[in-house]
Structure 1
């Protein structure tokens, strides 16, 4: 019953298609007739006007001069006014346009291939045909689809190319199934058949002048080895076949200027080469790396040799083929322990230097000159980095990212910016993997070790990237710098971590309190340097404010928790008193920033900044005196608790009183109301603590001493404030009198 329904359905589809096809032909004929009728009267009018003009006498009138002058004026305006550059079209737009126009065709041919496959499977399940007829049926179906595409090629070129590509796909899959499932012929025979299919496809693509068809042919050609693979690797034979395929690609690219075929071939060839390199590292693979390098280098330079220009995609191919080849070749040398590993980057640098000399000889210092110079310098940089035993992937990717950013600066093409933002996260990941060796390797030398030398390459390229981005922003006056700000934060973070991890690695044998203290001191000075150099580094205002808050948080944390740990380590004889004094080096940048408010003018735009500064001062001063008192007065650890209680009850209220007085004094002198609020609040906290807790813990002598000292401080402060208030009042009155006079 199902077979009868399927037959009726097929007949109905054929009938409907035939009926619609006849209607479409009638409509096309009617449209052609209407076009001819519309064009005929217009052509008659033009002929009549031409005849009349031929019989008119040529008369010069005075009115002709204004017209000529007006025309000349328009020409001058056209020459003087620069042509407004057209908005750059999205590089993915042609692809999406192709999909929009041909999506039904693509889905249709894909569905047809699936339908044929399901039909063959149905026939196999019903035992209608044997194994050999099954393969023959598939080959016949593929050939039939290609024949349909052949007849449609004149009027429907793109449609016919997709149809023909579907037929080629059927041939490939049929051959694969006949070999792997039915074992109808040997692997060599299957390889010959797939090669013939590829050759026929390339010839048809050249004959039909169809770029779509040759891409389909290349896809089939590069996947054919996977289709007929038996799991036994024969890499020399495979790459001989791929080399022949790439030579055919190069010939088609030069003859028809089809760039997409080159990129398709490069993607597959690189994947195959990297897989071979990682699976079986052999010296023979170097030959195929060099052959592929030559082929794709020629592919990238075809427009340069023909027209002396480098397009963005050609430039990107130059970058990728240089660095992907270096990664594979140096990996082989390192794995097989051959020397010197720098021979390949230097050789590739020499190739680019020849092209650079060619541009220099022509006195042409344009885009091509910049690209060849940048490639040469980048490759030499990689060679130097590898000579110092840096990590391969991290160094190569870091240099390549900077090269892409430089090319974006020189060309302005967004593709290089996109590639840079794609590659830079990979650089970070590679650098993180490099840093992980700090935890797995012992006894590395200071600075001159593979991990830190690799970090130095990343630091150098990151600084270069920041400089290039700054120049790009100045040139193009970009308003939306979100990604640039994120990149800047990440870049400064990479530099910070690279230096910090090297420091921590070499002090890892010290107590944890010492490691934390040194790490925090480095962090404080690093952020302090960024704040001081913010103008030269062109750091965004938002980032500056964030850095300042982070600086204050680190100061407070270092002066409180870390200082307490260091003091405890000194008391337990784990660290020396001299190390404890080194810990106070954080006061130098802190005092500088508090004293020189002009060093961070943007920070003081909100009231919150005054509170942040004041809280940090209170914590740093209080904890500084607290820990110093413990280290200097406690000789026996058993007396530590008693010393802490004594300081908290007796000395801490005095410190807070002095600080609150200073805040109020600064408020009156600098006319900053927020400091007076802070001073009175701190004073209130001190009074509340004193009368609610401290006085009940003191002995009589301590209580009397505390009250006397606090009373003297309060009276002195009050007298000073009154005097300052009178001075300010007299100054104001004097100015008013001078103004009245």
Structure 2
């Protein structure tokens, strides 16, 4: 067999194999389809209802926990759970109306009926006043006895009847005393005491709040002792004190919160309204303070009693109650003392006494180791608030700020160290107080021309104001160190906006306070020098006569404040680069450097030019010294500017910034350099009395700097520098044609055009020679 036949044979075998392969593939697919059909059929059969048990009619494994499934099984017969639930709701509603609501409505109607009957008998004079009161007491006693009789069988109903009876006894006593004068004041008062004691006993015995509410809180509606002259306050508040004492006794047993809150609100409301309408300093000063303290202590003890005995968790309503009780007491007490001649001298003592009370209570609670410690921390926090309030009341000026700042630092450290976050929260409040108090101190002690309105002279750096500012900044610095420490954790979530605000505010307070301390000292020094330079020149001086001051001193003030600012931001940059490595601080620091340099380029260079003019013209030189310092100060300032720009350059290469500021920095750097060189050119042409060459010199300077930027842009492969150079070239040519050419003679015009032309030609040559480098830069 030749090769040709062999090839044909192999092809034939290959075709057979391919056909068999196709047949096998079809068989495989058919099997898959059949398997899928069988699998789907089995799944559907599993989903069908399973056969029920022959006897019960229940499916195998059926869950009968649901009432609905029990209905399907037939086990519940005709009784449906929906009907049972409806019947249950109706039964509960019926129980509530029949056992609770109706009897309360009934006792209210009964009391109203007795009152209407009494009113009718009075209007028609059916019985004498004495008989009316006796009948009233008898009705209350009968109702009371009937309530007691039903106690064993119908306790809830009996409690309502007893509470209604107590209310009747209260009001009958009120009518007997107020309307008919059948009782003297002391007798009525003793009867009220008896009813209060009885109400306390019955409420505890029945274990029903309704009796306490009607018996005690209802007693507030009987302010019957307000009808007798000067003794009314003592009697009224003695009566309220008895009611509150009853509440305190109940709190030892039950601590019914609604009762406590009601008595709290009624007591302070009555006292506050009495203070607004009837308080007289000469009559009620001592009485009001005594009862104010009694009410405060009563409610404080009521609160603490339950907390100490029942070990209740500290909740938000407890915070509100403690704050209200403390600050209502303090606010009214402060107002009472403030209206009294002697009391005005005791406001600080009164405030610190509040702090001592809360501090002692916090120690007492802290020693109860089972109780929630948050109560102790919160009460001690209130004590610290009162200490903070005492500071501005008793002290003045810098001492207030110092104590607030020290207190803030201490609280922040304790809060972070012991994870007692209530202290940390209080420290934030004190930080803001200290910061703004320090600002107020600055406004009071410093200010532009402050020395002009007073003979006070502040010795630079050696004065209480500067020392106070340093101590406040030290407190903020300590807080900042604790805040940065990884040893302590804050309760604030770092991702929340509040946490970010606080994290920014703490270092901002520190830096602003530290910067302001020296800034104000420098400003105040030059302000005092300016005020002290005041002279009066008589008419014998023909050229100058009148009132004059040395305005160069204000220019020196401006320059030295700018120099100090440049030094401050440069030092801050150094510390952040070497030690802190804070990204946010670095970004803010760069912005501050830019702002400081811009201020120098505008206000600073203007002030330096004014000093130069003053030196050259020697204005009032016979009275004020116009020395070389007016000129040399420029180069001291340029050194500070160079330092700030150098620190900016160092910032650019820091990894912790995580942003590329290279292009903005180069733009800012070269703009600043060109600005300073232009100012320096003007400065020296002015000194050399060659002002006619200023315009020519500026055009040549700008053209030369454009050429330098092109060289630098090609060398460093920085396209933006070359574009900036071309833009500066265009601005220079525009200035030349529009502004310079009209003021220059032919020779000067020729010089300028030739020089700029040469610079442009050389620039073009460089572009052509290094076009491969420029091309690579564009690709990159």
TM-score by length of 2: 0.58
CA shift in 2, pair 1:203/1:312, >3 Å: closer
CA shift in 2, pair 1:394/1:655, >3 Å: same
Alignment-derived partner of residue 617 in structure 1: 670
CA shift in 2, pair 1:567/1:239, >3 Å: same
Alignment-derived partner of residue 639 in structure 2: 585
Aligned to 1:443, the other structure's residue is in SS state coil
- Describe how 1:274-285 pairs up with structure 2 within 5 A: 274-275=334-335, 280=342
Decide whether the 8 Å contact of 2:586 with 2:651 is kept in 1.
no
Decide whether the 8 Å contact of 1:553 with 1:616 is kept in 2.
no
CA shift in 2, pair 1:192/1:615, >3 Å: same
CA shift in 2, pair 1:703/1:150, >3 Å: farther
Long gaps (5+) in structure 1: 1-18, 29-115, 121-128, 336-389, 732-741
Decide whether the 8 Å contact of 1:593 with 1:599 is kept in 2.
no
Aligned to 2:460, the other structure's residue is in SS state coil
Alignment-derived partner of residue 504 in structure 1: 523
Alignment-derived partner of residue 687 in structure 1: 733
Aligned to 1:534, the other structure's residue is in SS state helix
Alignment-derived partner of residue 468 in structure 1: 482
Which is further off, 158-167 or 197-206? 158-167
- Describe how 1:447-486 pairs up with structure 2 within 5 A: 447-471=461-485, 475=489, 478-480=494-496, 481-486=499-504
Aligned match for 1:552, one of 549, 573, 594: 594
- Describe how 1:14-93 pairs up with structure 2 within 5 A: 23-24=95-96
1:522 and 2:564 are equivalent in the alignment: yes
CA shift in 2, pair 1:288/1:729, >3 Å: closer
C-alpha root-mean-square deviation of aligned residues, in Å? 4.9
- Describe how 1:329-408 pairs up with structure 2 within 5 A: 331-332=393-394, 391-408=398-415
Aligned to 2:568, the other structure's residue is in SS state helix
Aligned match for 1:596, one of 625, 640, 650: 650
Alignment-derived partner of residue 431 in structure 1: 438
Aligned match for 1:677, one of 723, 728, 751: 723
- 1:678 offset after TM fit, Å? 1.8
Alignment-derived partner of residue 603 in structure 2: 561
- 1:507 offset after TM fit, Å? 1.9
Decide whether the 8 Å contact of 1:567 with 1:580 is kept in 2.
no
Separation (CA, whole Å) in 2 of partners of 1:268 and 1:506 = 47
Alignment-derived partner of residue 71 in structure 1: none
Number of aligned residues: 547
Separation (CA, whole Å) in 2 of partners of 1:453 and 1:323 = 25
Separation (CA, whole Å) in 1 of partners of 2:438 and 2:181 = 56
1:267 and 2:327 are equivalent in the alignment: yes
Aligned match for 2:555, one of 509, 513, 523: 513
CA shift in 2, pair 1:429/1:232, >3 Å: farther
Deviations 1:218-251 (A, max 9, x none): 5555566542522448655544444555554565
Aligned to 2:494, the other structure's residue is in SS state coil
Alignment-derived partner of residue 33 in structure 1: none
- Describe how 1:188-199 pairs up with structure 2 within 5 A: 188-199=234-245
- 1:730 offset after TM fit, Å? 12
Aligned match for 1:572, one of 614, 627, 634: 614
Separation (CA, whole Å) in 1 of partners of 2:582 and 2:215 = 57
CA shift in 2, pair 1:484/1:291, >3 Å: closer
Deviations 1:99-133 (A, max 9, x none): xxxxxxxxxxxxxxxxx9xxx9xxxxxxxx97999
- 1:601 offset after TM fit, Å? 5.6
Aligned to 2:646, the other structure's residue is in SS state helix
Separation (CA, whole Å) in 2 of partners of 1:484 and 1:287 = 34
- Describe how 1:227-266 pairs up with structure 2 within 5 A: 227-228=274-275, 229-232=279-282, 238-245=288-295, 248=298, 251-252=301-302, 255-257=305-307, 260=318, 263-266=323-326
Decide whether the 8 Å contact of 1:552 with 1:613 is kept in 2.
no
- 1:444 offset after TM fit, Å? 2.0
CA shift in 2, pair 1:536/1:494, >3 Å: farther
- 1:587 offset after TM fit, Å? 2.2
- 1:429 offset after TM fit, Å? 2.6
CA shift in 2, pair 1:680/1:158, >3 Å: farther
Decide whether the 8 Å contact of 2:519 with 2:564 is kept in 1.
yes
Deviations 1:443-495 (A, max 9, x none): 12223433333322321121122222223698568334522344144543343
Aligned to 1:446, the other structure's residue is in SS state coil
Decide whether the 8 Å contact of 2:412 with 2:427 is kept in 1.
yes
- 1:505 offset after TM fit, Å? 1.8
Alignment-derived partner of residue 698 in structure 2: 652
- 1:527 offset after TM fit, Å? 2.5
Deviations 1:167-220 (A, max 9, x none): 36535xx469x35xx859533333433333433343344344234544554555
Deviations 1:608-637 (A, max 9, x none): x6245424532x33442344344434369x
1:167 and 2:218 are equivalent in the alignment: yes
Separation (CA, whole Å) in 2 of partners of 1:454 and 1:287 = 25
Long gaps (5+) in structure 2: 1-90, 101-166, 172-177, 309-313, 531-552, 616-625
* Larger Rg over CA atoms: 2
Alignment-derived partner of residue 347 in structure 1: none
CA shift in 2, pair 1:132/1:405, >3 Å: farther
Decide whether the 8 Å contact of 1:142 with 1:167 is kept in 2.
no
Aligned to 2:368, the other structure's residue is in SS state helix
Decide whether the 8 Å contact of 1:665 with 1:721 is kept in 2.
no
Alignment-derived partner of residue 573 in structure 2: 531
Alignment-derived partner of residue 61 in structure 2: none
Alignment-derived partner of residue 52 in structure 1: none
Alignment-derived partner of residue 380 in structure 2: 318
Decide whether the 8 Å contact of 1:146 with 1:163 is kept in 2.
no
Decide whether the 8 Å contact of 2:414 with 2:423 is kept in 1.
yes
